[in-house]
Amino acid sequence: MNRRTLLRGLGTAVALPFLDAMGRAAAKPPCRMAFLYVPNGIMMDQWLPAGVKPGVMALPAELPRVSSILVPFRNDMMMIGGLTQNGGRALGDGPGDHGRAGASYLTCVHPKKTNGRELYAGVSVDQIAARHMEGKTRFASLELSCEEGVQGGSCDNGYSCAYSNSISWRTPSSPNPAEIRPRAVFERLFGAADQDADPVRNARRQRYERSILDVVTGDARRLSAGLGGADKRKLDEYLTSIRSVEQRIQAAESAPRRAPEGVTAPDASIPAEFGEHARIMMDLLTLAFQTDATRVATLLLALEQSPRAYPEIGIPEAHHGLTHHQGDKDKIAKVIEINCFHAMQFAYLLGKWKATPDGDGTLLDHVMVTYGSGLSDGNAHDHANLPMVLAGRGCGTLRPGRFVKHPNETPMANLFIAMLDRMGVPAEKFGDSSGRLGYLSDLS
């Protein structure tokens, strides 16, 4: 079977996951990379193991409150300490740490302070990888988010909102706006078969509100009839996953819009609860990787200076305001709960990928995914010793299950160069890099 076989229907083209019937080439899936971002820092005493000196050690079975949520995946991930984003610091520009934290996170450069059209940061690591993947996948990269931001105006002491609201930069002056609408992502992955699809047929399909899978049922049955048992199960699980995501998007779209007094209700296409929104976006990212629609993605769980409240876990106050706690124990406790809630979403993604067959292993075996923030202490706006997890096995090029503490002031860019190496992307220098990060595998 051709690797690019599609299930086709009325204005629809559904790509397939890796199947044994595709031959040996499909038995060794490509390596993918993803970057998940949380804003406003993490309570570091609830994240890092206490008393760890520079070096390498087995990841402890017991971790502090926030990072303990990831303990079920301790053998699938690496915690990394000591990394710094020098580009997030003022460097003579005064206040604006949140804008710099977002803009420098994947570019590893200090952004130009402007609230106008003269944006300037750097090309982000995801886009360097995406350029290398052009022509190999349908989409060079996917940029996803669970919170909407604006690209114009000033959001942080003279820094443009584009800096706070984007971590992916196609060029130094062109941020990639992230998509927050699950329906838009779903249609991009499984909608029109090509850019010139008949709009009348597409409108007809939408008018009858038929499931994406309903219009490819015949093709799916014909394909399944010629598959072996393992491939039949894999195809059925994959199509069930698509159906589940589609139904959850439909449920979100039809749910009543509720919001606290004085707060604008979310758009009708966006789930009202953060947890459901995050998990739908993660399921869509899973489908994109599973079908090789892309090999590079970013996901903003929330934006820098996020005003989001989390009533579903009993926190009606805005996240950003709480992080400026000035030692208030009640505010600190609420920030910890938000940090835990974010970590739960990441744990969901790791569990999803660990349970998703992919060639000769699982999706988690063939992925490198980071989880972290551009700030460590949100109250102090500290850009040193940033929280960072690197999960997955990178197609056998990573050795997880360890805590690696690098000397303070080690550039984050050193990690990203090492990740590019494992994607087959040559990069001798990136941002403020000073070399390649060691200890990722026996090869380092």
Residue range 129-188, pLDDT digits in tens: 999 998 899 999 999 999 987 666 778 888 999 998 899 999 999 999 999 999 999 989
Longest dimension (CA), the chain: 66
Query: What pLDDT, on a 0 to 100 scale, did the predictor assign at position 194?
Result: 43
Query: What pLDDT, on a 0 to 100 scale, did the predictor assign at position 196?
Result: 43
Q: Which residues of the chain have pLDDT under 70?
A: 1-4, 9-12, 24-27, 150-152, 192-212, 215, 257-268, 441-444
- Measure the CA–CA gap between 52 and 128, rounded to whole angstroms: 33
- Sequence-ordered list of residues with C-beta below 8 angstroms from that of 216, at least 6 positions apart, any chain: 7, 8, 9, 12, 14
Query: What pLDDT, on a 0 to 100 scale, did the predictor assign at position 442?
Result: 47
String of DSSP letters for 2-59: -TT-EEEETTEEEE----GGG-HHHHSPPPEEEEEE-SS---GGGTSPTTPPSEEEEP
- Measure the CA–CA gap between 416 and 167, rounded to whole angstroms: 14
156 pairs with which residues across the strands? Answer: 159
Strand (E) or helix (H) holding 224: helix 217-225
What's the one-letter identity of residue 261? E
Counting residues of the chain whose pLDDT is more than 70, the rounded percentage is 88
Q: Helix 274-290 crosses helix 182-190 at what angle (to 10 degrees)?
A: 10
Q: CA torsion sign, 73 to 75 to 81 to 86?
A: negative
Residue range 365-399, pLDDT digits in tens: 999 999 999 999 999 999 999 999 999 999 999 99
The CB density around residue 308, as the number of other CB atoms within 10 Å, is 16
- What the chain holds in terms of domains, given with CATH numbers, is 31-180+274-422 (3.40.720)
CA distances from 209 to 78, 201, 204, 240 (A): 44, 12, 9, 18
Q: What is the dihedral of CA 413, 417, 418, 424, to 10 degrees?
A: 160
Report the half-sphere exposure of 205 (CA within 13 A, side-chain side): 20
Residue pair 352/282 in contact (Cβ under 8 Å)? The answer is: yes
- Measure the CA–CA gap between 178 and 165, rounded to whole angstroms: 8
Query: What pLDDT, on a 0 to 100 scale, did the predictor assign at position 443?
Result: 40
